[in-house]
């Protein structure tokens, strides 16, 4: 017999023997070992599972070309300068909100100026006029005499989850290639609050957490998700974020009235989830009134300290932002609230006032 035949014979014998051993050890011997007179075979039986160790290499691929995404974000981002050419000083950034030159930026970028120099991503320069300011946030509105500009498309900042990637842009260098910063959402909007945080209905506070590091030159910069949509804006040089929903209501108001008008309520409050309510021994999730401003719509409707508002305009406040419910109400509309006072359920209709 040739050597090759011996090798084939040994391999086949090894395979058959291995399979026979498995069959005998797992099926035949355990079956016989429970029969009378064959119990001594127990020492040869095995019930251990057959384990096959396999190592897989896992690669995280977000499927996104961040270079292209950064280029797309750059097209809706403008640089804003103080002074006159050639003595211009960089002030901050802005986000293009309409094709005919409506720009959102930060009050800290504008300062006390009524006009600024605005430069597009391709280097085109315009004189921008300051048009309006948000009474509840650091948002400011500018316009430039341009047409056919690329514009930001909104996504929901309140829908962002921890672990999602977002990006923003910074100052442009001499080639107008902007600084690029990418990071992760660390807290969702509803989870970006602590137990005893006091909110004021006259100041927008909804925001998501992020591990992004903003510098002062990021004020007014758009925050973009991996779909290239706007989820927020860097509101000021204190690293505060204005979420897309509050930008959208500001845009709607400005386009309708030429200024940003928001509903005025006039309360300070705690916002409590079901878990936080249980920790404070309160009956349910909602908003606890800490104070109602004198002559405010809330005071006029009879809201008092320690009232627990659990529903507003038919919307439960368990897992819902009170700020978003109020912000979606017309500035001169009504807010119908259900609340608990001293264990008794009550209802009030609040006639809101527009901010001045």
Q: Where are the domains of the chain?
A: 3-44, 66-143, 157-256, 263-354
Structure tokens at 4: 């090759």
| Residue found by looking up tokens 């970006």 in the block | 192
Helix (H, G, I), strand (E, B) or coil at 77: strand
**What pLDDT, on the 0 to 100 scale, is given for residue 52?**
40
Q: In this structure, are residues 324 and 206 in contact, taking their beta carbons and an 8 Å threshold? A: yes
Mean pLDDT of the chain: 85
Structure tokens at 231: 């989820």
In CATH terms, 66-143 corresponds, of 3.30.930.10, 1.10.260.40, 3.40.1550.10, 2.40.10.10, to 2.40.10.10
Q: Which residues contact 356 (CB under 8 A, 6 or more apart)?
A: 135
CA distances from 164 to 112, 188, 226, 294 (A): 36, 10, 9, 42
Q: Is 26 exposed, middle or buried (0-12, 13-18, 19+ CB in 10 A)?
A: middle
**What pLDDT, on the 0 to 100 scale, is given for residue 304?**
96
- Identify the helix (H) or strand (E) that includes residue 275: helix 274-279
Q: Which residues contact 354 (CB under 8 A, 6 or more apart)?
A: 261, 262, 263, 264, 331, 332
Distance separating alpha carbons of residues 187 and 341, to the nearest angstrom: 32
Distance separating alpha carbons of residues 40 and 104, to the nearest angstrom: 85
CATH of the domain spanning 263-354: 2.30.42.10
* For residue 21, pLDDT beyond 50: yes
Q: pTM here?
A: 0.79
Structure tokens at 58: 């896992």
Distance separating alpha carbons of residues 63 and 59, to the nearest angstrom: 11
Separation of CA 315 from chain center: 21
Distance separating alpha carbons of residues 290 and 306, to the nearest angstrom: 6
Structure tokens at 254: 């400005």
Closest CA relative to residue 263, chosen from 335, 312, 190: 335
Spell out the CATH class of 157-256.
Answer: mainly beta
* For residue 44, pLDDT beyond 80: no
Structure tokens at 267: 């309360």
**What pLDDT, on the 0 to 100 scale, is given for residue 214?**
80
Distance separating alpha carbons of residues 296 and 94, to the nearest angstrom: 34
* For residue 130, pLDDT beyond 80: yes
Domain 66-143 and domain 157-256, same fold? Reply is yes
Residue 277, strand partner residues = none
- Within 85-153, residue ranges assigned H as helices are 107-110
| Residue found by looking up tokens 């807290």 in the block | 187
How do residues 151-206 score in pLDDT, each as one tens digit?
999 999 999 999 999 998 888 766 667 888 889 999 999 988 888 899 999 999 99
Residue 115, strand partner residues = 129
Tell me which of 3-12, 168-177, 211-220, 304-313 is least confident: 3-12
Structure tokens at 83: 């002074």
How do residues 75-129 score in pLDDT, each as one tens digit?
999 999 998 877 889 899 999 999 999 999 999 999 999 999 999 988 899 999 9
How do residues 320-350 score in pLDDT, each as one tens digit?
899 999 999 999 999 999 999 999 999 999 9
**What pLDDT, on the 0 to 100 scale, is given for residue 143?**
97
């Amino acid at each position: 017999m040739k050597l090759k035949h011996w090798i084939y014979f040994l391999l086949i014998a090894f395979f058959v023997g291995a399979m026979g051993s498995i069959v005998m050890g797992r099926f035949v011997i355990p079956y016989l070992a429970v029969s009378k007179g064959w119990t001594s075979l127990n020492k040869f039986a095995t019930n251990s599972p057959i384990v096959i160790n396999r190592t897989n290499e896992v690669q995280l691929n977000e499927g996104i070309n961040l270079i292209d995404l950064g280029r797309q974000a750059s097209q809706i981002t403008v640089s804003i300068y103080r002074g006159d050419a050639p003595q211009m000083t960089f002030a901050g950034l802005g986000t293009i909100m309409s094709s005919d030159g409506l720009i959102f930026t930060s009050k800290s970028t504008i300062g006390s100026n009524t006009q600024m120099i605005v430069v597009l991503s391709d280097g085109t320069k315009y004189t921008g006029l300051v048009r309006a300011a948000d009474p509840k946030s650091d948002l400011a509105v500018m316009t430039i005499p341009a047409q056919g500009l690329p514009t930001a498309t909104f996504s929901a900042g309140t829908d962002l989850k921890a672990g999602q990637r977002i990006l923003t842009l910074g100052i442009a260098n001499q080639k107008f290639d902007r600084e690029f910063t990418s990071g992760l959402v660390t807290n969702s909007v509803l989870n970006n609050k602590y137990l005893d945080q006091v909110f004021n209905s006259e100041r927008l506070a909804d925001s998501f957490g992020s591990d992004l590091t903003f510098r002062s030159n990021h004020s007014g910069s758009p925050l973009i998700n991996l779909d290239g949509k706007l989820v927020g804006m860097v509101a000021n040089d204190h690293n505060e974020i204005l979420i897309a929903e509050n930008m959208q209501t500001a845009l709607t108001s400005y386009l309708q009235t030429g200024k940003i008008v928001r509903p005025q309520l006039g309360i300070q409050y705690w916002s409590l989830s079901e878990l936080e309510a249980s920790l404070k021994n309160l009956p349910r999730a909602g908003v606890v009134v800490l104070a109602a401003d004198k002559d405010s719509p809330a005071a006029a409707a009879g809201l008092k300290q320690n009232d627990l508002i659990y529903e507003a305009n038919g919307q439960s406040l368990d897992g819902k932002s009170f700020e978003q419910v109020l912000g979606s109400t017309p500035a001169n509309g009504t807010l119908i609230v259900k609340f608990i006072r001293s264990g008794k359920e009550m209802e009030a209709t609040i006639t809101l006032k527009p901010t001045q």
